[in-house]
C-alpha cells in the first residue's frame, strides 16, 4: 500500500461520516443530551472550517469560509439559536465542495507530491509541514468527530452509523 492510498482511505471514512451528518437536516440543533455537547450544525460547520483551513495550508490562500470561524472554529461553542447559523444544507454543501478540492489536490500531486512542503502552517501547531501529513491530520480530525455524531444521531432516534450483518456479528 502506498501513502496516498492510506490518505484516500482516511478521507473516504470521514466522507462517509459527512454523509451521515447530512442526514441530520431535520434536527441540526438537537443536543445529544441534557449535559450539552455538539449538535450536528456545529459539527458540520466545524469540519467545514477545518477543511477550509486545509485549503489555506495546502495552497496558501485565505480560508474560503473564514467568515464562519467565529461560529465553528477553535474555542467556539454551539448555540441553540438557528438565526446564528447559515442554512444547514449550505454548510454541508460547502464541506463537500472543499473536500472535493482536497481529493483533486491528491489526484494532482500524486504519491510523489505528498512530501512537498505546505504553503503555510497554523502558528504554534505542528504536524502540517507536508501536504501528506496535513491531509492525514484533517481526515483523522474529521473521523474523531464521528463519535459526537453517533451520540447526536441516537438522540434524534436515527439508525446507528454501523449496523453489522449477522455474519459480521458471528465473525
Q: Which residues pair with 130 in a beta bridge?
A: 117
SS3 128: coil
Q: pLDDT in tens for each of the 171 residues of the chain?
A: 999 999 999 999 999 988 899 999 999 999 998 888 999 999 999 999 999 999 999 999 999 999 999 999 999 999 999 999 999 999 999 999 999 999 999 999 999 999 999 999 999 999 999 999 999 999 999 999 988 999 999 999 998 888 899 999 999
158-15-6-111 Cα dihedral, nearest 10 degrees = 180
Domain span at residue 121 reads 3-170
All residues at 6 or more sequence positions from 28 whose CB lies less than 8 Å from its CB, including other chains:
39, 40, 41, 44, 82, 85, 88
DSSP state of 79: -
**For the domain that residue 42 is a member of, what is the CATH number?**
1.20.120.450
Whether pTM exceeds 0.85: yes
Per-residue pLDDT tens over the stretch 154-165: 999 998 888 899
All residues at 6 or more sequence positions from 136 whose CB lies less than 8 Å from its CB, including other chains:
6, 7, 10
Cβ–Cβ under 8 Å, residues 160 and 153: yes
Per-residue pLDDT tens over the stretch 30-58: 999 888 899 999 999 999 999 999 999 99
Within the chain, residue ranges assigned H as helices are 3-22, 40-59, 69-72, 88-109, 131-144, 146-155, 166-170
124: left (phi over 0), alpha (psi -120 to 50) or beta: left
Longest Cα separation, the chain = 50
126-70-95-8 Cα dihedral, nearest 10 degrees = 10
| Total domains, the chain | 1
pLDDT of residue 35: 83
Amino acid at each position: 500500500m502506498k501513502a496516498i492510498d492510506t490518505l484516500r482511505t482516511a478521507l473516504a471514512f470521514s466522507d462517509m461520516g459527512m454523509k451521515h451528518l447530512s442526514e441530520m437536516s431535520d434536527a441540526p440543533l438537537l443536543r445529544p443530551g441534557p449535559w450539552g455537547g455538539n449538535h450536528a450544525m456545529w459539527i458540520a460547520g466545524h469540519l467545514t472550517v477545518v477543511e477550509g483551513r486545509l485549503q489555506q495550508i495546502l495552497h496558501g490562500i485565505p480560508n474560503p469560509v473564514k467568515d464562519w470561524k467565529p461560529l465553528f472554529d477553535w474555542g467556539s461553542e454551539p448555540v441553540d439559536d438557528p438565526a446564528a447559523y447559515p442554512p444547514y444544507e449550505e454548510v454541508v454543501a460547502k464541506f463537500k465542495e472543499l473536500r472535493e478540492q482536497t481529493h483533486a489536490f491528491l489526484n494532482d500531486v500524486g504519491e510523489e507530491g505528498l512530501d512537498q512542503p505546505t504553503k503555510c502552517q497554523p502558528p504554534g501547531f505542528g504536524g502540517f509541514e507536508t501536504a501528506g501529513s496535513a491531509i492525514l491530520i484533517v481526515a483523522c480530525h474529521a473521523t474523531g468527530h464521528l463519535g459526537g455524531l453517533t451520540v447526536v444521531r441516537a438522540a434524534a432516534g436515527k439508525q446507528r452509523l454501523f449496523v453489522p450483518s449477522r455474519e459480521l456479528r458471528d465473525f
